[in-house]
Amino acid sequence: MSAVFDALWNTLHNDIPATDLSELDDHPEAQTLFESIEDLTSRVFDAAQTLRRSDEAEVLSADGDLVVRFTPETLAEFVGMRVVRPFLDKAIADNALVRMTEASERVVQLLPLLVGVQLPPPAEYYLNRVGLLYVWGYDIEIFTMARSVLEFGLQSRMTDEQVRDLAGTKDRYVVLKDRIKAAHKGRLLSEEMAKRADDIREAANDILHKAPKPGSSIEGPLDLITALRDVLTVLFTV
């Protein structure tokens, strides 16, 4: 394989015209690689010259600098090229190592919060899914998932009709705030736990709507997981 790349290197650095690939005749892999580089480069250059969308790329102006944005098909060609792939593989591996290191640190932070928690299988499964999002650094997604898990827990303990009766919502659509209110009135949640549940709801709303003034007292993902654990534990032990 080294002979293939040596031949390609000599061709690129000895002023041989792009159409003269005779030096590569004995190395078909290098010839194919050279032709693909030449073809792709030519198409990108054409797109840059016209400064408009082409089949391969779009040239944009960002603060006076030219930026080439490739289509997915062209990016796929890059990824498949023998010159590009080793660098891509290394970048992916480096990123994976960083994520693994961060994940191991987060596991240490998370375990004390979840060890010994006794919940019914569905609730335990979903709480663990929230924990998994934290381990892998999905700190925004945690909030929306936690809100969904809370709603699932409340739905498991009280029907919509019961919620309407206790929350006084009549025939309108039941929302999470109604479920929390009904759970408090139905003695499934204490006033303190109802406030914790509402904090989870508000925290998700703050994230989704990018609230300039957060309405929740929850300070971060670990605080959120703690609140969710506490509410679910009470909800399923009453």
pLDDT tens column, 56-104: 445 454 455 555 566 666 666 665 666 566 666 777 777 777 778 888 8
More confident residue, 133 or 85: 133
Residue 151 has pLDDT above 60, yes or no: yes
pLDDT of residue 101: 84
12-26, 53-67, 135-149: which is most confident: 135-149
Percent above pLDDT 90 for the chain: 33
Percent above pLDDT 70 for the chain: 61
pLDDT of residue 25: 62
Question: What is the residue-averaged pLDDT of the chain?
Answer: 76
Give 130-136's long-range contacts (Cβ < 8 A, gap of 24+): 130/225, 130/228, 131/225, 134/106, 134/110, 134/221, 134/222, 134/225, 135/103, 135/106, 135/107, 135/110, 136/99, 136/103
pLDDT of residue 82: 60
pLDDT of residue 61: 47
Residue 19 has pLDDT above 60, yes or no: no
Residue 5 has pLDDT above 70, yes or no: no
> What residues form DSSP beta bridges with 60?
67
| Whether 58 contacts 43, CB under 8 Å | no
Residue 109 has pLDDT above 80, yes or no: yes
Alpha-carbon separation of residue 91 from 71, 102, 123, 140, 191 (angstroms): 21, 17, 37, 24, 50
pLDDT of residue 15: 45
pLDDT of residue 233: 93
List pLDDT tens digits, range 152-208.
Answer: 999 999 999 999 999 888 778 899 999 999 999 999 999 999 999 999 999 998 888
Across residues 7-12, what is the average pLDDT?
49
| 1-15, 33-47, 146-160, 165-179: the lowest-pLDDT one | 1-15
